[in-house]
């Protein structure tokens, strides 16, 4: 479920994240959990609608909206791509039961070598 409204604290946090440079924005959303990505997407969509309405207004807001729209659309596309991207599982290089066998194996090999040298 997507919350329709965000708390003031979440709006401030997401707005600060949205206003960061694109490289920092990408790095930050790569580490976000799914619920935060949903909230960020909601905030981006709200700001995008606000910028579209400001585009039809008069004065400075109209000119700023023309610059803000492409940036918001690019960030929204990044968030959507991050949500769609499959989550990778952490790979385990050594299984616990296999590691126990491999630790004991070198010890027996060393014992055999010591016995051969002693003989």
Where are the chain's structural domains?
8-87
Per-residue pLDDT tens, the chain, 119 aa: give them: 455 678 889 889 999 999 999 899 999 999 999 889 999 999 999 999 998 888 888 888 888 888 888 999 999 999 999 988 876 666 667 666 655 555 555 556 667 766 777 66
Residues 6+ apart with CB under 8 A from 3: 38, 39, 42
List the end-to-end C-alpha distance of the chain, in Å, as a whole number.
Answer: 74
| Prediction pTM value | 0.64
Q: Is there a contact between 66 and 56 (Cβ–Cβ < 8 Å)?
A: no
Residues 68, 52: Cα–Cα separation, whole Å:
9
Q: Please tell me the predicted confidence (pLDDT) of residue 119.
A: 60
């Amino acid at each position: 479920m997507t919350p329709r409204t965000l708390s003031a604290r979440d709006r401030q946090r997401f707005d600060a994240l949205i206003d960061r440079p694109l490289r920092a924005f990408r790095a930050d959303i790569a580490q976000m959990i799914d619920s935060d990505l949903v909230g960020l997407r909601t905030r981006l969509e709200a700001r995008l609608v606000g910028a579209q309405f400001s585009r039809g207004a008069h004065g400075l807001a109209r000119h700023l909206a023309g610059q803000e729209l492409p940036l918001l659309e690019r960030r929204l596309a990044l968030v959507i791509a991050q949500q769609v991207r499959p989550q990778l599982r952490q790979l385990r290089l050594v299984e616990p039961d296999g590691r126990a066998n491999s630790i004991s194996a070198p010890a027996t090999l060393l014992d055999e070598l010591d016995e051969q040298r002693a003989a």
